[in-house]
Structure 1
Amino acid sequence: MVKLFQAADATDLVTELRRSFDAGVTRGYEWRVAQLKKLLLICDNHESEIVSALHDDLGKPELESSVYEVALLRNSINLALKQLKDWMAPDKAKTSLTTFPASAEIVSEPLGVVLVISAWNYPFLLSIDPVIGAISAGNAVVLKPSELAPASSSLLAKLLEQYLDSSAVRVVEGAVPETTLLLEQKWDKIFYTGSSRIGRIIMMAAAKHLTPVVLELGGKSPVVIDSDTNLKITVKRIIAGKWGCNNGQACISPDYILTTKEFSPKVVDAMKQELEAFYGKNPMESKDMSRIVNSNHFDRLSKMLEENEVSDKIVYGGQKNRDKLKIAPTILVDVPLDSQIMSEEIFGPLLPIITLNNMEEIFDVIRSRPKPLAAYLFTQNQKLKERFAMTVSAGGIVFNDIAVHLAVPTLPFGGVGESGMGSYHGKFSFDAFSHKKAVLYKSFIGDAAIRYPPYSTGKLRLLKALVNSNIVEIFRVLLGLS
């Protein structure tokens, strides 16, 4: 019989991990490297098990599991192993005349004991990638995988217990009760990936202890298609980034398309042609597409499709099978802007196309909605690219492709506004779990009497000149000039 996770267990867990952290277990370079190498072994030795678990949970094709989860994790781990010494090294900082003679540096210190709550749509990538950052930065960490991907959650718990140092790295499985108990504890940081609704709950719980948070949320990521584009490649990349990434169940998945009324028929025809080339005449039978995660999400998506003035806007797809949790790739044109499908993040295989009179109107539509996690523009017009980059506020912007910025470790990945706060990937992951501590080394040489009482007009003038680094005034005071 499985022992229930109770309040005392949560308290004891944090106490044990804090004891390990305070003892310095996680701080050393050697410990961090050893744990990262163990994570690499998990990827190397258990890829087939990971692929199998992802198929059980989401029906993911092997290519998506191996490339978009395991291979990306390998890249993250290898980058951390290669760069860790540089990341840990203090950064030199300039000093001023006020503190002369002195030297200064910025030291990256681990925050302490951190909590990572991950999502179900990429259960291995979104669980282990933040853990890489937490370990690299020298923290003790608790991972709470999503209960909506039970096979992946179970495998994560087994593998991390088997490979990693359990005195500093733990996995807690469970659902809302377990997560609630964990959130009642005092953490040094909480990293959450998921919906904005749960993100608000996480933030409220963190506020009780003034715990900083990283929230990787989502939103309605727009795709703008200009007529000045390579339409065939554009459509193929949109399909790969929408249905080829977990069947639209991804935080940076295209959520709706904006294009002109004049160009939209060409877009729709090209999408129909390429979708059939990718998934066949009966996409419901395709083995190259993930299924919907569970019946609740299936019903949510069905409700979007069945809403008044939406169902008659379907121009392609729309087939559903609740028993198999399958929904075909579905394209809709000009659904009402106040409909559910245009008000909520879709997180599924439905893709509305909104047609506009001209490209100028795209900015008004995007600005009228909460800031998205990603925004995409397909065009060869350089001026339009420049305006889009300067005008559109989003977590990230990609021109002429979908979601590929996720794989660039030198770019921060994170949201803005309702799509999240904080970022990670590469060194940004290390920084997310580090405190940048200011350290000043002051000499006993050159102690100045002007800082001590009794005060005088001359001392005041000289101190003000020093603080303002006003060399001319310093010499005027020293020479006794008024």
Structure 2
Amino acid sequence: MSLDSIIAKQRAHAPVLAQKPLQYRLQKLAELRKALKGPWQEKLVAAMKADFSKGDVDVRLTEILPTLDNIKIVSKNLKNWTKPKKVKTPIILFGSTSYTQVQPKGNVLIISPWNYPIFLTLHPLTNAIAAGNTVIMKPSEHTPHTSAVMAELVASIFDEEEAYVAQGGVEVAKELLDTRFDHIFFTGSTAVGKIVMAAASKNLTSVTLELGGKSPTIIDNSANAYAAGQRVAWAKFTNAGQICIAPDHVYVHEAKLEDFKKGVIETITSFYGDQPMDSNDFVQIVNEGHWNRLRSIMDDAAKEPGEVLIGGAASKEKRKIEPTVVIDPPRDGAMMREEIFGPLLPVFTFSDLAEPLQEIATREHPLVVYIYSKNKRNIRRIQNETRAGSTAVNMSLMQIANNYLPFGGVGHSGIGKTNGEAGFLEFSNTRAAYYQWGVPVNKVLSAPYTPGKKKLVERMIERMF
């Protein structure tokens, strides 16, 4: 069946699905949970190995586990989230009651990237199904084995009129974006996010854009910089830096630089050995095109000032780049022109906290601002003087693991939120409902406006507002 036919079937089925009892959605989520805990888990692990050289534990920990956690939270709370919620009604509207009620948006599209293809496809699918929508998913063509397994998994649980995985490259994505949907959920680069938003605007389709940006880390003079170095190195070089919320660059107080360097070097060596490109736990760059892009950044950076603390080597044959840390490169240099999205980490020293804050203010709002500090005043100052989708203090990456926290960007780093209830609401229309059960106010305050009515309105304004 053609993709157009499947989308047409889903649009026709969306109103039918919306009327099915809540238990039907819960049953589908239970089936997805059972599949991910069963034999499909092994198939997905094998597919990720084929696509990405990603290790067994890594896939289970960073892809399967958070997806299952979101299913658990959504399933546990869905009944409460879908109940009509009474809201306050002002006294001027006496004789009435007001509620909100969530309803499905309809037929929705999820476009997911290659860096965490399982989590970033099935996590929003969970929220979309919980909200009662029919769903088309378009995973990345750069992880074809994983996309194929997810397509089989989804087909084993859902009829294609409910949920369907559309495989293919740019031409499939373009066909989907030329089609009307009731909501589009996109995870990927800011550049492609603009294309998605432009396409959605033609049909006034709502969007959730989970993008990226250059997320900074600030390590002040009160921080445990050795521990900060360990945590930043773990966060930066997990998945070879191919994470939208990875620390993109670091500002470290000059008094703390040596401790930070020690933590970074020890962590890289402990995790990946003296030859990281030979480690099975250090993943490949996803494809040759991305490897070439990163290599070009490295080549340009090598011509610039800066101390290479560790790394600097690359292998096209292995499609790997060593964890590379450069101290005090130019602040407008090769590594600062765009989101790095790879295992390259520029580190800048500062003596006054105002320095990094001023630099961050000149850039587009990032997805995350990471803060390492024991000084509450400094933490508050950084939070108040920066704008970002989220903040993490004295840890990196782990905020994404809390499905009770809304996750998303602001401005160029994204629009809308996901995780838990926030993700459920992205795929829902919160409908206002007003019930008049008594004499309405317009019975008293309507034309003709007599002197008595004028006086009554004046008293209401004076005494009630």
Asked if residue 117 in structure 1 is aligned to residue 107 in structure 2, the reply is no
Match status 1:29 vs 2:22: yes
Q: Is the 8 A contact 1:102 1:441 kept in 2?
A: yes
Preserved CA contact (<8 Å) 1:190 1:206: yes
Q: In structure 1, how many angstroms separate the alpha carbons of the residues matched to 2:195 and 2:440?
A: 54
The equivalent of 1:273 in structure 2 is 266
Query: What CA distance in whole angstroms lies between the structure 2 residues aligned with 1:234 and 1:450?
Result: 66
1:372 and 2:363 equivalent? no
Q: Deviation of residue 55 (structure 1)?
A: 1.4
Say whether residues 1:258 and 2:261 are aligned partners: no
Q: Which of residues 157, 162, 177 is equivalent to 1:163?
A: 157
In the alignment, the residues of structure 2 paired with residue 295 and residue 15 of structure 1 have an alpha-carbon distance, to the nearest angstrom, of 37
Q: Deviations over 1:8-54 (max 9, x none)?
A: x4443322111111224565302211111121022111111111111
Q: Is the 2:208–2:417 contact (alpha carbons within 8 Å) kept by the matching residues of 1?
A: yes
- Deviations, residues 182-225 of structure 1 (Å, cap 9, x unaligned): 11111111000000010000010001011111100001111112
**Does residue 133 of the first structure (1) align with residue 107 of the second (2)?**
no
Alignment TM-score, normalising by the size of structure 2? 0.95
Structure-1 residue corresponding to 2:139: 145
Q: Whole-Å Cα distance in 2 between the matches of residues 360 and 447 of structure 1?
A: 55
The within-5 A match list for 1:17-416 is: 17-24=10-17, 27-45=20-38, 46-244=40-238, 246-307=239-300, 309-310=303-304, 313-416=307-410
CA deviations over 1:410-464 (Å, ceiling 9, x no partner): 2110001110110010100111111111101112546764344433232234356
Of stretches 27-36 and 372-381 in structure 1, the one that deviates more from structure 2 is 27-36
Measured at CA, do residues 399 and 96 of structure 1 come closer, stay the same or move farther in structure 2, by a change above 3 Å?
same
Counterparts of 1:112 and 1:301 in 2: how far apart (Å)?
A: 40
**Identical-pair percentage:** 33
> Could you tell me whether the CA contact under 8 Å between 2:96 and 2:438 is conserved in 1?
no
Change (3 A) 1:108 1:382: same
> 2:305, 2:75 → 1: CA distance?
51
SS in 1 for 2:326: strand
Amino acid corresponding to residue 307 of structure 1 in structure 2: D
User: Which residue of the partner structure matches residue 419 of structure 2?
Assistant: 425
| Count of residues in Structure 1 that have an aligned counterpart in Structure 2 | 463
Q: Distance in 1 between matches of 2:124 and 2:101?
A: 21
> Is the contact between residue 3 and residue 166 of structure 2 (CA under 8 Å) also seen in structure 1?
no
1:457 corresponds in structure 2 to 451
Deviates more, 1:260-269 or 1:160-169: 260-269
Which sections of structure 1, spanning at least 5 residues, go unmatched?
4-8, 473-482
CA deviation after TM superposition for structure 1 residue 260, in Å:
2.7
1:358: how far off? 2.6
Who is 2:9 aligned against?
16
- When residues 446 and 352 of structure 1 are mapped into structure 2, their CA distance, relative to the original with a 3 A threshold, is closer
Equivalent residue letter for 1:288: D
Q: Per the alignment, in what secondary structure is the counterpart of residue 252 of structure 1?
A: coil
Distance 1:225 1:323 in 2: 36
Change (3 A) 1:49 1:465: farther
Contact 1:305 1:311 in 2 (8 A): no
- Amino acid across the alignment from 1:173: Q
The 8 Å contact of residues 221 and 374 in structure 1, kept in 2 or not, is answered as yes
Per the alignment, residue 476 of structure 1 pairs with none
Report the Cα distance in structure 1 between the residues aligned to 2:37 and 2:162, rounded to whole angstroms.
Answer: 23
Q: CA RMSD in A?
A: 1.9
Is the 8 Å Cα contact of residues 20 and 26 (structure 1) preserved in structure 2? no
Moved more, 172-181 or 226-235: 226-235
Structure 1 residues 189-198 or 232-241, which shifts more?
232-241
State the 1:315 CA deviation.
Answer: 2.4
Unmatched 5+ stretches in structure 2: none
**Aligned-partner residue type, residue 325 of structure 1:** R
Check whether the contact 1:145–1:172 (CA below 8 A) recurs between aligned residues: yes
Relative distance call for 1:307 and 1:13 in structure 2 (3 A) is: same
Aligned equivalents of 1:270 and 1:162: distance in 2?
47
- Partner SS, residue 263 of structure 1: helix
